[in-house]
């Protein structure tokens, strides 16, 4: 049998562990629900009817496969062959729907009639509202009060699709508090409710399952880049919040050692400012939301507040498989600051006519660093995951640019 260099390819992580990371650190009452979910996932993940149904929705509803686009003008400007994997063209405006569709179909098979989800920027809440409406499942979304203020338009979009949005006023009133509330709801309503978690975080089986539903990004990219270039790319770059678009892009390439992999975290106003969300680059090990991974905490283990100009990267935890990939050195994790991200945002608008999500431009900004700091040149092929589109961000960008120009 072919032996993979990366040991978690096609291999079921024992007890949900990637090395020392992952696991199930949850209250007793949730163990049963996680077991039920894990069993259902294992039953259906290789089931031909289930896979065909998921493909049907990915192709006819979500708009897959998404294009791999060669940026000719920006390539010339940056001095590298730049391709974008266009997840911004997925229905709903981000890669989130890939996972939401998979989990909603699974929830239906499990006989659940109600979906709950957490959301930060609102993109995952929107994806959940979309599948709730299209499959006729009652949908309730938990969202921090502060995020509701920042992302009003996404709240309204969710409500238009029939979802109920619950404001969360506890803690820092952001994503981590919304996850706490969603977990609390799940504990109470576990019989008829599926918790549709939005990234490769949380207790097992979520990190594995969400990764598998996002693998489609990397599978398509590999086929498309071989078609376009006749060879594998030199580097792949993705932004990392919880890490789902990143692991989705990377997974098919983990065994291809000639492909350098870069996961980019939100450097905010710089690591020294303490206003960032650079969990892997500046955090330490601990348990958050049911999983053992890197996180941003103080000496007493209290979760630290985070900051990023990109609402979807503003999370104090990160997926356990990324923690494992960091320690083994297969993926290089680095940061891009708010200012660098905003500059890349403007570049993509002006050179390619594409309005990107603020999260995604963290990855794009790194393409320039590959040239400036890592010696890549105009023959090198770099694929950046454009995880989402930027309509949701124009107000933030307008404000930030006005600040800069003062």
List interacting residues with ligand PLP (CB under 6 A).
Answer: 94, 96, 121, 123-124, 199, 239-246, 312-313, 357, 359-360, 387-388
Diameter of the chain by CA atoms?
63
The candidate with the shortest Cα–Cα distance to 358, out of 315, 314, 388, is 388
| Alpha-carbon distances, residue 39 vs 24, 120, 171, 233 (angstroms) | 15, 29, 34, 36
Selected catalytic residue, list 32, 71, 239, 281: 71
Min dist CB 192 to ligand PLP, Å, is 27
- 281 among known catalytic residues: no
Q: How far apart are CA 129 and CA 115, in angstroms?
A: 9
Contacts 24+ apart (CB under 8 A), 9-13: 9/251, 9/254, 9/255, 12/42, 12/208, 13/204, 13/208
Min dist CB 196 to ligand PLP, Å, is 13
DSSP secondary structure of 197-240: --SS-SSTTHHHHHHHHHHHHHHHHHHHHHHHHSS--SEEEEE-
Selected catalytic residue, list 2, 4, 91, 95: 95
- Which is closer to ligand PLP, CB of 115 or CB of 361? 361
- Which is closer to ligand PLP, CB of 380 or CB of 389? 389
- 71 among known catalytic residues: yes
The candidate with the shortest Cα–Cα distance to 356, out of 71, 38, 110, is 71
- Which is closer to ligand PLP, CB of 244 or CB of 297? 244
Min dist CB 211 to ligand PLP, Å, is 10
Q: How far apart are CA 396 and CA 154, in angstroms?
A: 14
The candidate with the shortest Cα–Cα distance to 389, out of 367, 360, 364, is 360
- Starting from the edge strand earliest in sequence, which strands make up the sheet with 260-268, in order? 68-70, 81-86, 381-386, 235-239, 260-268, 331-337
Min dist CB 62 to ligand PLP, Å, is 14
- Which is closer to ligand PLP, CB of 314 or CB of 380? 314
- Which is closer to ligand PLP, CB of 62 or CB of 313? 313
Min dist CB 21 to ligand PLP, Å, is 16
Kindly list the catalytic residues.
Answer: 71, 95
């Amino acid at each position: 049998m072919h032996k993979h260099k990366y040991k978690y390819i096609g291999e079921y992580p024992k007890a949900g562990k990637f090395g020392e990371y992952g696991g199930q650190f949850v209250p007793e009452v949730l163990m049963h629900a996680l077991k039920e979910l894990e069993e259902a996932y294992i039953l259906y993940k290789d089931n031909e009817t289930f896979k065909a149904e998921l493909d049907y929705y990915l192709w006819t509803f979500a708009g897959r496969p998404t294009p791999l686009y060669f940026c000719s003008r920006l390539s010339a400007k940056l001095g590298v062959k730049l391709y974008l994997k266009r997840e911004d063209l997925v229905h709903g405006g981000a890669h989130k729907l890939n996972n939401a569709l998979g989990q909603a179909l699974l929830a239906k098979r499990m006989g659940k009639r109600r979906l709950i989800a957490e959301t930060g920027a609102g993109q995952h809440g929107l994806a959940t509202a979309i599948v709730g409406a299209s499959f006729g499942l009652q949908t309730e979304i938990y969202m921090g009060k502060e995020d509701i203020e920042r992302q009003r338009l996404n709240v309204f979009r969710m409500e238009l699709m029939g979802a109920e949005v619950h404001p969360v006023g506890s803690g820092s009133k952001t994503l981590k508090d919304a996850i706490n509330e969603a977990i609390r709801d799940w504990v109470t309503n576990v019989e008829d409710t599926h918790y549709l978690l939005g990234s490769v975080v949380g207790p097992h089986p979520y990190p594995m399952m969400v990764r598998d539903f996002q693998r489609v990004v990397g599978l398509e990219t590999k086929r498309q880049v071989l078609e376009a270039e006749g060879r594998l790319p030199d580097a792949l770059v993705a932004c990392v919040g919880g890490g789902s678009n990143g692991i989705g892009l990377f997974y098919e390439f983990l065994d291809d050692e000639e492909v350098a992999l870069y996961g980019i975290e939100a450097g905010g106003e710089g690591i020294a400012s303490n206003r960032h969300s650079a969990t892997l680059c500046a955090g330490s090990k601990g348990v958050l939301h049911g999983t053992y991974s890197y996180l941003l905490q103080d000496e007493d283990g209290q979760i630290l507040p985070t900051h990023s100009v990109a609402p979807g990267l503003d999370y104090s935890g990160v997926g356990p498989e990324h923690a494992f990939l960091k320690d083994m050195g297969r993926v290089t994790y680095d940061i891009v600051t708010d200012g660098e991200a905003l500059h890349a945002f403007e570049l993509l608008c002006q050179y390619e006519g594409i309005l990107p999500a603020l999260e995604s431009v963290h990855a794009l900004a790194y393409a320039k660093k590959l040239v400036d700091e890592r010696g890549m040149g105009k023959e090198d092929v770099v694929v950046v995951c454009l995880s989402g589109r930027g309509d949701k961000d124009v107000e933030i960008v307008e404000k930030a640019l006005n600040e800069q120009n003062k």
